[in-house]
Amino acid sequence: MATITLSNVSKDYGGGPVLRGMDLEIREGEFVALMGPSGCGKSTLLRLIAGLEEPSGGEIRIDGRRVNEVAPKDRDLAMVFQSYALYPHMTVRENMSFALKQRRLPPAEIKAAVEAAASKLGLTGLLERKPKALSGGQRQRVAMGRAIVRNPKAFLFDEPLSNLDARLREQMRYEIRKLHRELGATSVYVTHDQVEAMTMADRIVALNDGAIQQVGSPQDLYDNPANLFVAGFLGSPPMNFLDATLAPEGALVVEGQTLAHVSPPAGLAAGTTLTLGLRPERLALTDPTEGTAVRVDVVETTGTGRVVHLALGPQRLKLFTMDPRPLAPGDVVGLVAPPGAPLLFDPVSGARLS
Amino acid sequence: MNRTLALKLEPYFYTAPSLLLIAAIMLVPLVTGLSYAFHDLILLDPLSGDFVGLDHFREMLDDDGFWTALRNTVVWTAVSVALQFTFGLVLALLLNRPFPARGLVQALVFLPWAVPGFLSGLTWAWLFNPVIGPLPHWLHGLGLLATPENILSDPRLALWGPIAANVWWGIPFFAITLLAALQSIPKDIYEAAAMDGAGPLLRFRRVTLPLLAPTIAITVMLRTVWVANFAELIVVMTKGGPADATQILSSYIFTLAFQRLDFGYASAVAAVLLLLLLAYAAAVMVLRHAMTERP
């Protein structure tokens, strides 16, 4: 178990910065998700921690020790790769023993460690097989097993579930989470999948364009996104963003209709245009006479409820509802945004205003 | 005709043209050549051509030229292939890491392969000639030769001349094939090994070599058969001499057939060479199978 500290870490491959001045403290035993779209620098950051790349600037410390110049093999970190990177010429047992053999542990100890890890992951019957004789899910487990037998200072996961089908992914999400609870080891988990980040992490580090956008618990990021990027990245269906104008007394006007009320943020004059963020599940349907009148465009049934695509003039928004009232495209319905639902953003900088 | 029988025969009709073609261009000459080995066939002797059974093979047992050539074949093949492979692997490893102008260097490195064997034999013969070539003087300067003379005319050293030319000429083949195999090894396997605590040497031994093994087995086998049959350099550089000291089986066959015009005996030696190479190839295949299909 370890703490990992990044101070002002940057990386530049020569074609402009990939990571810019990053500060991050990963606490002992914590499960941290590095989340962002592809190209945001999250994998690069993980590889810097692993030692597979060298930072162009700044400092990386593991348990207080500076590791910028330390080779990956001497950092005592375990990594699970997206491709699993199993040794194709070795059996599952040999794959899992490889790191322990490098440390010259006694064979009996290696055998015990490998078999304990295998039984934890349900790999006991597969120990003598080669990777090519395993299914995708089994290979994923071997990759996990190879990491846990080592009892490393920290686990690094590089999108480990992205090659699995949806069902297996959900199961492995649960198993990785359970393993983390049992082992209590510091874990850094790279993903572009907001559901993985939300469900698994103690804290999420939202990354975009090589910079940290926000760090916090999943619920915190969901409820209080710092900017448009974080607000739009988390949640499915994603948050609605509408062009709105602030009217006197905190009324938010969209396409000439008052959609919601907020207590007016300090320093914002009436007439300011801003971006109004509304989560689809925070909105409710009512009769057209009571709420803002909007037109139903498309209705999608999800089983738990319905996602209703609505048109408000030229602007579009989505609403998630479990309301059973009949809805058909073309219907005019009332829309209600309860107090607390609206989030306000600066349309130019994307920063949160309220 | 019975319909089921016709259906059964159908695939054979489709494959028949190719099979006949293969038989005609591969099997017929092979069988003809082998049949010469059991006949007394001397080109300039119109009375020859009788069936002589195993006489040629008995004659071979007492033929010093044959045994010298067999010994030379082993040395020539083993040393050439071993050095070609070693240098080829080193070259492939060097070319596998990025450096400026890598594309150009790669192209240059593969150049010897494009030189005809005949031409490289001539060039190397000149290089070993003390009158026009620098090599004897360099070897003398290094203390490897007592006097700067032509090693091609020294029966004890002459074989090393063609071997040197052969190594130079054959390195690119190993470099190309091993480089291709190296590039097919996923980078993240090395990274996983690095994370698992393996340094560069160990990564080479535990990752690179095992993953190259199938390519190594097949290329070494191919090259061995090829080099054992490769008489061109020897014929050009030493003509098998001095005093047959540098004959290998294939150059000996060439000499027997086209200088002594004894096609019968030459075919018998060729048959022996064929058997030896078949046995070698079979052994390598068994070994490779045993290595890769370990339960």
For chain A, give every domain's residue range.
Answer: 4-233, 240-345
**Phi, psi (deg, nearest 5) at residue B204:** -65, -45
Q: Do A50 and B197 touch (CB under 8 A)?
A: no
Homologous superfamily assigned to A240-345: Nucleic acid-binding proteins (2.40.50.140)
The more confidently predicted of residues A176 and B155 is A176
Closest partner CB to B210 (pick from A81, A89, A102):
A89
In a domain, B40, yes or no: no
User: Inter-chain contact B194–A103, Cβ cutoff 8 Å?
Assistant: no
pLDDT of residue B1: 60
Mutate to test the interface with A, among B196, B207, B208 (most CBs of A within 10 A): B196
B1 domain residue, yes or no: no
Count of domains in chain B? 1
The pLDDT, as a whole number, for residue A92 is: 92
Q: Which residues of chain A have pLDDT under 70?
A: 1
Q: What is the 3-state secondary structure (H, E, C) of A199-234?
A: HHCCEEEEEECCEEEEEECHHHHHHCCCEHHHHHHC
Rounded Cα distance, A182 and A150, in Å: 15
pLDDT at A308: 94
- Per the structure, the complete domain to which residue B79 belongs is given by 53-292
Residue B288: the pLDDT is: 76
Q: Per the domain annotation, does B110 fall within a domain?
A: yes
For the cut 90, the answer to whether the pLDDT of residue B291 exceeds it is no
Window 136-155 of A: residues touching B by CB (8 A cutoff) are 146, 150
Indicate the pLDDT class of residue B202, thresholds 50, 70 and 90.
confident
B-contacting residues of A 48-87, CB under 8 Å? 50-52, 71-73, 77-79, 81, 83, 85-87
* Residue-wise DSSP of chain B: --HHHHHHHHHHHHHHHHHHHHIIIIIHHHHHHHHHTTB--BTT-TT---B-TTHHHHHHHT-HHHHHHHHHHHHHHHHHHHHHHHHHHHHHHHHTS--TTHHHHHHHHTHHHHS-HHHHHHHHHHHT-TTT-SHHHHHHHTTSSSS---GGG-TTTTTHHHHHHHHHHHHHHHHHHHHHHHHTS-HHHHHHHHHTT--HHHHIIIIIHHHHHHHHHHHHHHHHHHHHT--HHHHHHTTT-STTTT--HHHHHHHHHHTS-BHHHHHHHHHHHHHHHHHHHHHHHHHHHHHHT--
* Average pLDDT of chain B, as a whole number: 85
pLDDT of residue A23: 92
Chain A residue nearest residue B292, CA to CA: A89
Chain B (174-203) residues lying within 8 Å, Cβ to Cβ, of chain A: 186, 188-189, 191-199, 202
Q: Give the pLDDT of residue A17.
A: 85
Structure confidence by residue, pLDDT tens digits, B252-278: 888 888 888 888 888 888 888 889 889
Predicted local confidence at residue B295, as pLDDT:
40
Average pLDDT over residues B122-137: 87
Is residue B258 assigned to a domain? Answer: yes
Query: Cβ neighbours of residue B149 under 8 Å, at least 6 residues apart?
Result: B130, B136
pLDDT tens-digit readout, B54-103: 777 888 788 888 888 888 889 999 999 999 999 999 999 988 888 888 88
CATH of the domain at B143: 1.10.3720.10
Q: What's the Rg (C-alpha) of chain A?
A: 24
Q: Provide, rounded to the nearest whole percent, the portion of chain B with pLDDT above 90.
A: 12
- pLDDT for residue A30: 93
A4-233 under CATH 3.10.129.10, yes or no: no
Give domain status of residue B7, yes or no: no
pLDDT band at B134 (very low <50, low <70, confident <90, very high): confident
Q: What is the per-residue pLDDT for B267? A: 87
Averaged pLDDT for residues B101-110? 84
**What is the predicted ipTM?**
0.81
* Residue B47 domain flag: no
Largest CA distance in chain B: 84
